[in-house]
Structure 1
Amino acid sequence: MKVWERLISLLAGIILVVLAVTLTLLAFGQAGPTILEELVRINDNPINLWALEVAIIALILAVFLIQMALRMRREEKTVIYQTQFGEIRITVSAIENLALRACKKVRGVRDAHVGVRADKLTGLDVYIEVTASPDMAIPQIKAEIESKVSDYIFETVGMHVNAVKVLVTKIAAETRTRVE
């Protein structure tokens, strides 16, 4: 369910709760004379049972809508790859972990964050943000990350990587050792 659908469902649930509480108060005669009470009365005959039934239905719908809006069901994206032996399914987060593992083996990489975009048409693209060591050449680190990540994913999963895009976001501060 999309975010805007959740918001609409939550808002409808809250409105239905308010309606249910108001109608329940009217059914038991706890609310003063209001416009809503005048709508509930027909020909000066109170129809408290009708108001109570509508309140119960509104409350049930409200609970259902709020529960549906707050339910967090996150489906993990999977990549399906056809081989001669059959179909391989692997989650995007598993590919991200493999790419991160390969990236951290590169000398000069201090920290990395990996994102993977998998599409049936374009294939597999890996995006990596890296914090590099100050004493290493960035073009060398970039080339090594691209080759190692691409090779490691191909060796492990068997999928070809279309592109590995590396963005160096920071240069790490030098760590100085203290001798006491």
Structure 2
Amino acid sequence: MAKILDRFMLFIYSLSIGAISIVAILLLSGVIPYDLTFDQEQVLFLSCIITAAVLLLMSIRFFYISIRRDRTTTNSIDQRTEYGDIQISVETIENLCLKAASRVRGVRDLKARIKVSQAGLDITIRAVVDGEESIPALTTEVQKQVHDFVEDTTGIPVSGVAVYIANVVQAPSFKSRVE
């Protein structure tokens, strides 16, 4: 939501600066003559102060956006060991989950999602199964494989592995041709 508001503010800011620049160029070049009465001068002066204040506030906001650190780029899990710090990206852990789950026979089209909590990693595996084996036994095996593999490989505790079976693959039926 903040990004949409910032983009809208940037659009208005750019439009305002462009319009003010065009009017200033036309006034200073003499293309637009200007003879104002005292009342018109006061209204123009007040509107210029309000416009300048709004543009100043928007400039401060854009300056802040340009110098702040982006918090979304550090999408990793940090660990401290006796030898130093370790950072493992969430994408790496997702790939490890997919590698472990693909070792289980009967699962296909795997997708993994990782959530980091205080208790450890919450892993969700989405899979399509072939339907030739028991789904509870298959999902239990996937959970065990993923849990053990990720904990052994990364050293990060896994608090839970949820398996979502999205569908069952239909075996292709081949019709024999008789000639």
TM-score normalized by structure 2? 0.71
Does residue 164 (structure 1) correspond to residue 141 (structure 2)? The answer is: no
Kindly provide the amino acid, as one letter, of the partner of residue 86 in structure 2: I
Relative to the length of structure 1, the TM-score reads 0.70
Find out whether 1:154 has 2:154 as its counterpart: no
* 2: CA distance, partners of 1:143 / 1:79: 26
Letter in 1 for 2:96: L
Report the counterpart of residue 15 of structure 1 in structure 2.
12
Q: SS of the residue aligned with 2:126?
A: strand
Structure richer in helix, relative to its length: 2
**CA offsets 1:86-140 (integer angstroms, 9 cap, x no match):** 4332111111100011111100001111001112x22111111110012121011
* Contact kept? 2:110, 2:128, Cα under 8 Å: yes
Code of the aligned partner of 2:113: G
State the secondary structure of the residue aligned to 1:134: coil
Equivalent position of 1:114 in the other structure = 112
Corresponding position: 1:79 with 2:77? yes
What is the CA deviation profile of residues 139-178 of structure 1, one whole-angstrom value per residue up to 9, with x for unaligned ones? 1110100111111112211222111111111111113457
- Which aligned runs of 4 or more in structure 1 are off by greater than 6 angstroms? none
Structure 2 counterpart of 1:115, one-letter code: R
Aligned pairs for 1:16-165 within 5 A: 16-27=13-24, 28-29=26-27, 42=41, 61=59, 74-119=72-117, 121-165=118-162
Gaps of 5+ in 2: none
* Residue ranges of structure 1 left out of the alignment (5+ in a row): none
Question: Structure 1's 20 and 85: CA in aligned 2 closer, same or farther, altered over 3 A?
Answer: closer
Counterparts of 1:89 and 1:179 in 2: how far apart (Å)?
A: 56
